Structures are given as structure tokens and as C-alpha cells.
Amino acid sequence: MDRQADHGMDALPQLLKRIGGCRLCVESPRGRPLPHEPRPVLRASVTARLCVSSQAPGTRVHATGLTFNDPSGDRLRSWMAVDRDTFYDASRVAIVPMGFCFPGLDAKGGDLPPRPECRATWHDQVYATLPNLRFLLAIGGYAHRYHLGSEAAGGVTETVRRWREFIAEPIGPSGARVLPLPHPSWRNTGWLKRNPWFEDEVIPVLRAEVAAAIATGMPLSNETDDRRE
């Protein structure tokens, strides 16, 4: 393992501990404070070669402390063709939402956007300590804009349509090849029906890339971590 990996192995546990105790969105918020106690949820290890970069925890994830422990997670695992044990094996799969805590609900009962404090404070540090990432699933517009920058300016549908461009070469803060995806929420069933090319063209490539990343993962004996309060 090279010096960068050694640095990540030393730095990541300390970083995850700091994130687990983060209270910025309550004590120093950008805008309205978080309406409940923080409960940061993410999973990461220096050996992970695959990363799921999602939006933010929902109500069920906030209650259980286990990311994608909801119907959206069931659909995502179906897209990836992995079981729960594989998905939650942090030595192979990092899960880093754009907001680590459930942001609360808006007036219509929908989830609020990810808290901006997370991206501004933590994300660059997290990806700097994940030296072995090779492939990243960027889920939804917030993840698209972080990992793809100005290339994601056309909105979710246009960004996902350009998926071939983004998986060709490593890009963005993660240093991995990025596959942009819509959110697997069941609220997006209509989007999937309007865009059948996604399941026809993208899902087979997604499954092949995920399988390759998991198969070439490093031994499970190395350091892993999982922020569950």
C-alpha cells in the first residue's frame, strides 16, 4: 500500500469520528438550524473501490442509522444487482450522502435539500482519505453537481443521458469514474417510464461496473468504519 493509502488508513477513522460528533447544522447553521438532533449517517473504508454518493438520509434512515434502509435502497440494490450483505460491506462499498443527517421535511411532507454544511466542511476531506476508489455512483442533482461540476448544469435527465462521457475517465473530487443516476425513490417511477433508455442502456453497464469494482476489492481484513449512532 502506498503512502497515500497509509495516510487514508490513519486519517479516516479520526475523520469519521469527527463527522459522527458534528453539530454544525444546529450550532452554526447556514440558514435555519436542523429541526432535530443530528445523526450523521455514512459508511467508508480505505479499501472501498466503489462509492455510492447519494442525497441525504430520509426518515427511516434517520430512525435506524442505516443508510438506504428503505424502499429506495431496495430499488438501488436491484439496479446494482447486489444483496444487502454486499451493499453494506464497507470494505468494498463506501456510502457518502451529500448531506449526512436527515434534513427534515418541507411543508408538503417532502424531504428538504441536503444540509450545505456537510459539503462545505466534510466532503473534500472524506474523498481525500479514500485512496482506492475506482467507480462512483452519483445519485441525484446534488451529487451530480459536486462530482461533475459545471458538466452537470443541464439538470438530472440531461446529465444522466451523458453517462458515457463521465465513465470514460476519472473526474471530480473522488478521483473515480462517475456514473450519474436518478434517485431510486419510488416517486421517480414516472421518470423511469418516460425514459426507458435508462433501464435498457445504463443498468447493464451499471451492474457490470459494480461487479468489477467489488470483485477487485482489497482484502476484508483492513480498516473499515460505519457511522451508526
Total-model pTM: 0.89
Q: Give the DSSP letter of residue 99.
A: S
In a domain, residue 164? The reply is yes
Q: 166 with 178: CB under 8 angstroms?
A: yes
Q: What is the mean pLDDT of residues 71-83?
A: 96
Report if residue 229 sits inside a domain: no
- Is the pLDDT score of 135 beyond 80? yes
Q: Is residue 227 over pLDDT 70?
A: no
pLDDT at 150 (0 to 100): 95
| pLDDT tens-digit series, residues 30-47 | 999 999 999 999 999 999
Of the candidates 170, 160, 152, the one whose C-alpha atom is nearest the C-alpha of residue 205 is 160
pLDDT higher than 80, residue 79: yes
How many structural domains does the chain have? Answer: 1
User: Is residue 117 domain-resident?
Assistant: yes
Whether 226 is in a domain gets the answer no
Task: Give the residues across from 227 on adjacent strands.
Answer: 42
Percent of all residues in the chain with a pLDDT value above 70, rounded to a whole number:
90
pLDDT tops 80 at residue 158 = yes
Q: DSSP string of the chain?
A: --HHHHHHHHHHHHHHHHHHT--HHHHS-SSSPPSS-----EEEETT--EEEE-S---HHHHHH--TT-SHHHHHHHHHHT--HHHHT-TTTEEE--SSSS---B-TTSPBPPPPHHHIIIIIHHHHHT-TT--EEEEEHHHHHHHHHGGGGTT-HHHHHHTHHHHTTS-BTTTTBEEEEE----GGGHHHHHH-THIIIIIHHHHHHHHHHHHHTPPPTTS-EEEE--
Domain assignment present for residue 227? The answer is no
Question: For 91-117, what is each residue's pLDDT tens digit?
Answer: 999 999 999 999 998 888 888 999 999
Q: Residue 168 is part of a domain; what is its CATH number?
A: 3.40.470.10
Q: Structural domain of residue 141, as residue ranges?
A: 3-220
Residue-averaged pLDDT of the chain:
90
What pLDDT does residue 103 have?
A: 93
**pLDDT digits 0-9 by tens, 180-226:** 999 999 889 999 999 999 999 999 999 999 999 998 644 433 334 44
Residue 114 is assigned to a structural domain of this protein: yes
